[in-house]
Structure 1
Amino acid sequence: MTKLNRKKMARKLWLLSLLFSSLSVANAQVVDVPLNHPSYRFIDRMEAKGLVRQVRNGTKPISRLKMAQILLEIEENASSSSLTRIEREQLQWLKSQFKCELERLGEGIPLASVSSPRWWALFPRKEKEGLICLDPVLAFSSQSKGSRRVYHRTTGVKVYGYLSDAVGFYLYARDSSEWAKGNIRWKPANPQEGFWDVPFPQKGIGHTGSYGKRIDHDEVDAAFSLRLPWFRLSIAKGSNTWGPGYRGQLALSDWAPSYGQIKLSAQYGNWLDFTYIHAFLHSNIVDSLRSYRTDQGYERILHKRKYLAGNRLEITPIPGINVGVSETIIYGERDPEILYLIPVMFLWSAQHYLGDPDNLQMSADIDLNLIRHFKLYGCIFVDEIYVSKIFTKKQHNWVGLQGGLFWVDLLENLDFRAEYTRVNPCVYSHKFPINNFESYGYLLGHQIGQNADQLYLEANYRYIRPLLLTLSWQQDRKGRVPNAYEQYHSPSQRFLSGRVKRQQSWALRVSYEPLRALFLKIGCRFIANPKGEQTELSFGLEYNL
């Protein structure tokens, strides 16, 4: 297919989607819950307690309407003894934040003290055309480790709303500054190294402006969604997480900066969810053919095109068991491929049809909630594997593995979690740099990167509804990252080969939420590695971050 024909076909698909949007629509809300919202932690706990059995929350974000439905299901299934007093307070607290969606479902808010609009949005506005809610975003934090100290300030706005019941929109914009005494937080020199050798590892940031000991950066997430009779269509800039992981996900995580995407999602009955995305990534590779310098010396730097296409099925064969399977493919240096724009396409075969120029990944995960108060989960991520020669040392098998246990109510309101993640050598990287599993210099998968593993233990205790205490222990190991020639010409790379970096840490964190979305956070972390021992202290006050 010529370049002109590909453009014509893409234009036809776009016009077809606009035609669908003009059809009659279902009565449903189409705005997602941000990935850091405390409701995700709460429903994870309720799922382990057996109070909700068909959540399928391995694909995030989920919609505000679905979250409201889950909260109602928990309330309907809960007896007077199945929820603790603090859990009942949490449930009502969260219901107040989904007031609009509960009203659409025909449900009221039982506690008048939290049903006032000021509790579910600071500036809500209802009109006959729909609803709009606006909240400011404010945050300040500091982190210190030895002689290094970093301060972080963020301001912004968060807006979401609905036009009738068919159209939803979301905007989350924030402007941040970071300044430091000592080395400032910065991106890793090599994304495949994960978070190693970074003074204060944090989730990805995009474009930055550097001013001595200060950097400025602004981030925005936005979405415009249409609810069609058969599926939901979104044009957005945001992040996705695929998989059951708690500390990080192998298939897709939110470690990298958010990216532009077209998303299609559908639910069939109460047992199957389907999601398709086509994302526009940042390659961080300069396109020398399109970049240039003017006669006056001004440079215009353009980067090579890079994309991610992926689809995911999540099913509940029986209540208490959720199974997910997904495919993703990274490609670039050309226009979007029509084969990768077909939501139900088997990407593995599509790549072969195109001559195998791209980087395909597959994953499967399971979430078991069969024993009350226990959740077991696991995931396998396959970058490349020879099934017929899986135990042959001369064949490279690039896989990642993750498994976890979540034990609820060891004592009342006390939880315990254990999670192990292993990423074999050569996972996430490719012989063609454009196909590396990364965007803007950050991994799209688990943040430890290849040839590494992580063991994470955590205990959470909620003393009162606003107050959460967390004690955690973490061990990380990281081997050498092989180059592209070694990756494709040497026998299978041994796990944790080369000089191994080791690090252990203990952490105590306190989170206090006296008002909706207002958090006071204090933390202390003790770190031990070959460079010595250090204590990291952190303090933060945030509203709607």
Structure 2
Amino acid sequence: MKYKIITFLVIFLIFLKPGFAQNPASVPVNHPVYNYFDRMETLGHLTRLLDGVRPYSRSKVANALKELSKKRTDLTAIDVRKLDEFLLDFRFELSQDKKHALIPENQNWYSTLASLKNLQKDFSRALDQYFPEEENHLFIWEDSTNNFYLDYEQVFTMDIRSDKLSRNANEQSYMARGTLNNDFAYQVKVSLQGVRGDDGYRESDPIIKSGFSQESEDGDVVFTDRTGGELAWHTKYMDVHFAHQEISWGHGESGKLILSNFPEQYPYFQVSREWSWGKFTAMHGKLQSFQSDTLADETRIFPDKWVAAHRLEIAPFSNFTFGINEVFIYGNRYADWAYLIPFNFYRAVQHKLRDRDNATISLDFEYIPINRLKFYTTIFLDEMKFEKLGTNWWGNKHAIQSGLHIADPFGLSNTELRAEYSAIMPWVYTHKFKINRYESDSRSLGHWAGPNSEVIYLALQKDFHARLKGGIQFLQYKKGANTDSVNVGGNLLTGRNILGAGQEEPKETRNFLEGNLTTERRTKLYLQYEIFNDLYLSASYIWINTKDKIEEKSLNEIHLGFLFNY
């Protein structure tokens, strides 16, 4: 069956005809251009951005930058400087007749490592802090509509807590990307990570996630690695992606209810089509499941697990956008043909397949009533009966997130204020079948907080300079965990059908934040400075207060970070 599916996809791609030149390569979801566009949208400088699915293509980013460049006189001086920097970073997509500034007139490539002279010149250039300046590359090749770039990224972080725990992380990444005829794009990224520090604290470092890891022989270091990449093709009818990278669907800064980059990245096949007032996206991905068995020869068995999702996003007005999403989880079989058809109504498909899968539907919207003010909401429905709505029936497995974003509040230029509230009811993301849980490798596909939780988030950020920003964040996280005796719906990995020690049958009702309640409050002060082009220093001080029914404790944490991309 899987070979038939691969053959179908190959034939499908062969018969697609390329349209006008567009670079479909994805821009990583953590790229600073996303925060910049979010601000520009709230200010009213970008309309119908259709930003519910990330990553964007490089061409989508370039087109938005082109629109902003027409409104330079409406932007603050800092916003203009950032715009000029992004315009250079996406120069090839905007103006292919302009070569990279470092490429000599008589050739089509340049490399810092090609000669000692180049190395000395580039080192001196970095110290001069030219602004604006195009992003750095170890190797550059550009020829008409074709290009190739080789990059290196180095990350160092250090965390020190007031209870004497500490950790430091080191991550090296090697990246290559390019285009052929400007319609076909490819990229690959390989990363190596190592975390030293106190046992337990180092394993919680965010760079580890839930992927493969192993300890050094002396037990002082945890090592892990990660790889990903993408093949992307722009055609007259749609964009096609076969990728292994982080994605996110929906809105929210403190977490996303629909699909987030909280789990380890997973491979997926995606088709999408965007027009002036709408966008359709369909995705089918392979998730990491649990170990179900071990054979006599010690071969470990992991059943197949899949995610099928599609989203229709429409902007009927320039200041209002809404999205409709279906995300289904299924497994213990090969990829199902019915879920591979982008326009199929998945809920009807699931009925035909005898109700074996985890069905979710979600709605979201963004509304900008006046420039500088944006409201957004996501409603996630994991189970629903109309006659039970408004009751405490256990099957009301719903989640809601609402937020507002204010740009330049109280007349403070280059400042942003954000407030968010998220409530995730008991048993959301769980399922009676283990294979259908809304997770990959035990990490939620949606919001990191998981079921039976509440998150309040406030943030104030100020750009003091195009290279320097700082702010304060407050986050309150409440979690109602299962008790030893009762399953109250507080564990992502425990479906309602799994009983606690004191239960004879599953609960028929749900009570929000029932169980062993833990409240954690985090207040964070931070600064980030781009000291040279693509070289960032960051620092933060975090106050942490945690309280449960037994004790209350307070901690302080200092974080230092270094990021260099070349």
Scaled by the length of structure 2, what TM-score is found?
0.87
- Aligned residue for 2:558? 537
List aligned pairs for 1:62-461, cutoff 5 A. Answer: 62-78=56-72, 80=73, 82-104=74-96, 119=135, 121-128=137-144, 130-145=146-161, 146-186=163-203, 200=205, 204-211=209-216, 212-267=219-274, 269-283=275-289, 285-288=290-293, 291-294=294-297, 299-394=298-393, 396-410=395-409, 411-461=412-462
- Check conservation: 1:102, 1:108, Cα contact below 8 A: no
Q: Which moved more, 1:82-91 or 1:477-486?
A: 477-486
State how far apart, in whole Å, the 2-side matches of 1:115 and 1:396 are: 54
Matched, 1:30 2:37: no
How many residues in Structure 1 have an aligned counterpart in Structure 2?
A: 514
Offset from partner CA, 1:299-353 (integer Å, 9 cap, x none): 3323111000100111111101111111111011111111011111111110011
State how far apart, in whole Å, the 1-side matches of 2:31 and 2:2 are: 39
Q: Where in structure 1 are there 5+ consecutive unaligned residues?
A: 1-5, 187-198
Secondary structure in structure 2 of the residue aligned to 1:286: coil
**Could you say if the C-alpha distance between residues 87 and 15 of structure 1 is closer, same or farther in structure 2, counting changes exceeding 3 Å?**
closer
Offset from partner CA, 1:20-78 (integer Å, 9 cap, x none): 24x34431111111111100000100101000111011111001111111111112134
Q: Which moved more, 1:400-409 or 1:138-147?
A: 138-147
- Aligned residue for 1:195? none
**Could you say if the C-alpha distance between residues 162 and 389 of structure 1 is closer, same or farther in structure 2, counting changes exceeding 3 Å?**
same
- Aligned residue for 1:464? 465
Q: Where in structure 2 are there 5+ consecutive unaligned residues?
A: 102-129, 488-493, 499-504
Q: Which amino acid aligns with 1:87?
A: D
- Aligned residue for 2:490? none
Quote how far apart the aligned CAs of 1:379 are: 0.4
Q: Which amino acid aligns with 1:292?
A: L
State how far apart, in whole Å, the 1-side matches of 2:75 and 2:29 are: 25
- Check conservation: 1:414, 1:461, Cα contact below 8 A: yes
- Aligned residue for 1:50? 44
Secondary structure in structure 2 of the residue aligned to 1:282: coil
Quote how far apart the aligned CAs of 1:460 are: 0.3
- Aligned residue for 1:191? none
**Could you say if the C-alpha distance between residues 293 and 177 of structure 1 is closer, same or farther in structure 2, counting changes exceeding 3 Å?**
farther
Q: Which amino acid aligns with 1:280?
A: K
- Aligned residue for 1:59? 53
Q: Which amino acid aligns with 1:138?
A: Q
Offset from partner CA, 1:160-208 (integer Å, 9 cap, x none): 110112210111211000111343333xxxxxxxxxxxx5556724111
State how far apart, in whole Å, the 2-side matches of 1:525 and 1:320 are: 36
**Could you say if the C-alpha distance between residues 230 and 514 of structure 1 is closer, same or farther in structure 2, counting changes exceeding 3 Å?**
same
- Check conservation: 2:99, 2:142, Cα contact below 8 A: no
Secondary structure in structure 2 of the residue aligned to 1:484: coil
**Could you say if the C-alpha distance between residues 168 and 398 of structure 1 is closer, same or farther in structure 2, counting changes exceeding 3 Å?**
same
Quote how far apart the aligned CAs of 1:106 are: 9.0
**Could you say if the C-alpha distance between residues 394 and 439 of structure 1 is closer, same or farther in structure 2, counting changes exceeding 3 Å?**
closer
Secondary structure in structure 2 of the residue aligned to 1:500: strand
- Check conservation: 1:184, 1:213, Cα contact below 8 A: no
Identity %: 27
Q: Which moved more, 1:385-394 or 1:9-18?
A: 9-18
- Check conservation: 1:454, 1:475, Cα contact below 8 A: yes
Offset from partner CA, 1:366-406 (integer Å, 9 cap, x none): 01123111111000001001122212334520011000011
Q: Which amino acid aligns with 2:562?
A: L
- Check conservation: 2:431, 2:496, Cα contact below 8 A: no
- Check conservation: 1:96, 1:114, Cα contact below 8 A: no
- Check conservation: 2:97, 2:144, Cα contact below 8 A: no
**Could you say if the C-alpha distance between residues 94 and 24 of structure 1 is closer, same or farther in structure 2, counting changes exceeding 3 Å?**
closer
Matched, 1:10 2:5: yes
Quote how far apart the aligned CAs of 1:252 are: 0.2
- Aligned residue for 2:115? none
State how far apart, in whole Å, the 2-side matches of 1:523 and 1:24 are: 47
Offset from partner CA, 1:419-466 (integer Å, 9 cap, x none): 111100000110111111110121110001100010010000111110
- Aligned residue for 2:481? 480
Quote how far apart the aligned CAs of 1:266 are: 1.0
Q: Which amino acid aligns with 2:213?
A: T
Scaled by the length of structure 1, what TM-score is found?
0.90
